[in-house]
Amino acid sequence: MTAQLSGRTATPSRNRVVGNILRGSVGNLIEWYDWYAYTAFSVYFAATFFPKGDATAQLLNTAGVFAVGFLMRPLGGWLLGRYADRYGRRAALTLSVSLMACGSLLIALTPGYRSIGVAAPILLVLARLLQGISVGGEYSTSATYMSEVATEGKRGYYSSYQYVTLIAGQLVALAVQIVLQQVLTTAQLDSWGWRIAFAIGALGALVVLYLRRGMDESASFEAAKAADSRAANGTLRELMRHPREVALVVGLTMGGTLFFYTYTTYLQKFMVNTSGISKPTAAWINFFALLVFVVLQPLLGALSDRVGRRPMLIAFGVLGTLVTVPSLTLLAHTKNPAFAFLLMTVPLGVSAAYTSISAVVKAELFPTSVRALGVGLPYSVAVAVFGGTAEYLALWAKQAGHESWFFYYVTVCVFVSLIVYVRMRDTAKDSAMVPED
């Protein structure tokens, strides 16, 4: 009956599809700008929120708070995923960006450790908890929304814009960092300049809150809701009727998310703290490498519409297993900016085979009634366990004097995911999203 109702739903025009994708994408960009501003500016505000100590110890503290934010992502994936399956994708996306605005504003306004003592890191943790819930819900709902509103046969292409805007958010954060580095001194950045980045994020989130009110609701959700109001409720009980799909999301995410966060959020600190590259130079390297990474997303997303999702994932698994140890080992022993750029860009190109289709693969595993929760909860658990701890484990291994342990840890996790990719079905050819969905 759902399919019949969906089939009677008027097919949206291309302009309407693009408009909905853009509204969702801009919101996604701001959400991830706020999320990545933390890691981009942590090298400046680490000393503000924590007692004096060596640089690695202070970065460990900020990395620990970063991981805490990730631990809240499963809660966000559950709460907002269920909310999206019950009340609609648009309502959940509006709620997620509101939470992000509150978190960014709190970081921007919280006094330092010298002023309010232990309350400073406590408030920082609280802000990251709010942002963790927001991002956990944002990923699942935007992945679901973009996949559902995309034109049939172009889901890989359109849904790839989730990672285009995800990385664009990081690029904007880096651009803000680079601009502030040019107009402020290092002392000013350490003292108060970093707060500007979070104030920008809070303001941007308020603008997105207005834009998202004009989004169309997903026709798939509306059709499922009209067919049976109880079908689109996103309960855990209903989710557990799909145990294989839940396990697949965890398995295919494990290596992909660890690899992604290693080469995006952690690598800038790695270049500064291990390679000895200056902070401004590392920021520029990061910016241009991520710019290449963004361009690859829609290209590989469109390719997946032609060749399927599974071959793309297998390519990532094979190349990711082979490239990790050599690239990180070489990067640890170079101060040459051009070579460092190459050693970051090549693995990011490998990662794009996963990130460009990450959203659509997960969305294609689940029926409409539980899609947002099915995408969000298991994904957020995997990201919390593997992505959220990446930076902390890398810094811990460095402090222990065995930094290369982390390189091999990433390699093993990617290889485990490769086994999953080889054994899973190709969701482009065998999708829970029927043509009318």
Given a contact cutoff of 8 angstroms between Cβ atoms, the answer to whether 301 and 358 are in contact is: no
The pTM of the full predicted model, rounded to 2 decimals, is 0.79
Residue 5: is its pLDDT beyond 70?
no
Residue 215: is its pLDDT beyond 70?
yes
Q: Is residue 428 part of a domain?
A: no
**Token digits of residue 212:** 């998202």
Assign 23 a pLDDT band (cuts: 50, 70, 90).
confident
CATH number at residue 417: 1.20.1250.20
pLDDT at position 47 = 76
Q: Is residue 90 part of a domain?
A: yes
Q: Is residue 282 part of a domain?
A: yes
pLDDT at position 4 = 37
Residue 229: is its pLDDT beyond 60?
no
More confident residue, 41 or 255: 255
Q: Write down the mean pLDDT value for the chain.
A: 83
Going from the C-alpha of 279 to that of each of 38, 63, 177, 284, 399, the distances in angstroms are 15, 17, 10, 9, 20
3-state secondary structure of 220: helix
Q: What domain range is 412 assigned to?
A: 2-423
- How far apart CA 124 and CA 37 sit, in angstroms, is 13
Assign 395 a pLDDT band (cuts: 50, 70, 90).
confident
Please give the distance of CA 382 from its chain centroid, rounded to a whole number. 12
Residue 299: is its pLDDT beyond 50?
yes
pLDDT at position 59 = 62
Q: Is residue 81 part of a domain?
A: yes
- How far apart CA 86 and CA 115 sit, in angstroms, is 44
3-state secondary structure of 232: coil
Assign 8 a pLDDT band (cuts: 50, 70, 90).
very low
CB burial string 356-391: b at 16+ within 10 A, e below: bbbbbbbbbbbbbbbbbbbbbbbbbbbbbbbbbbbb
Residue 3: is its pLDDT beyond 50?
no
**Which segment of 35-39, 60-64, 261-265 scores lowest on mean pLDDT?**
60-64
Q: Is residue 430 part of a domain?
A: no
pLDDT at position 221 = 74
pLDDT at position 10 = 47
**Which segment of 23-32, 115-124, 323-332 scores lowest on mean pLDDT?**
23-32
Assign 232 a pLDDT band (cuts: 50, 70, 90).
very low
pLDDT at position 251 = 94
Domains contained in the chain, number: 1
Q: What percent of the chain has pLDDT over 70?
A: 88
pLDDT at position 58 = 59
pLDDT at position 197 = 92
Q: Is residue 431 part of a domain?
A: no
Q: Is residue 432 part of a domain?
A: no
**Which segment of 219-223, 298-302, 365-369 scores lowest on mean pLDDT?**
219-223
**Token digits of residue 142:** 């935007």
- How far apart CA 277 and CA 280 sit, in angstroms, is 9
Token pair 């509006």: residue: 94
Which letter does DSSP use for residue 385 in this model? I
Highest-scoring range by mean pLDDT, 33-42, 92-101, 323-332, 383-392: 323-332
Assign 121 a pLDDT band (cuts: 50, 70, 90).
confident
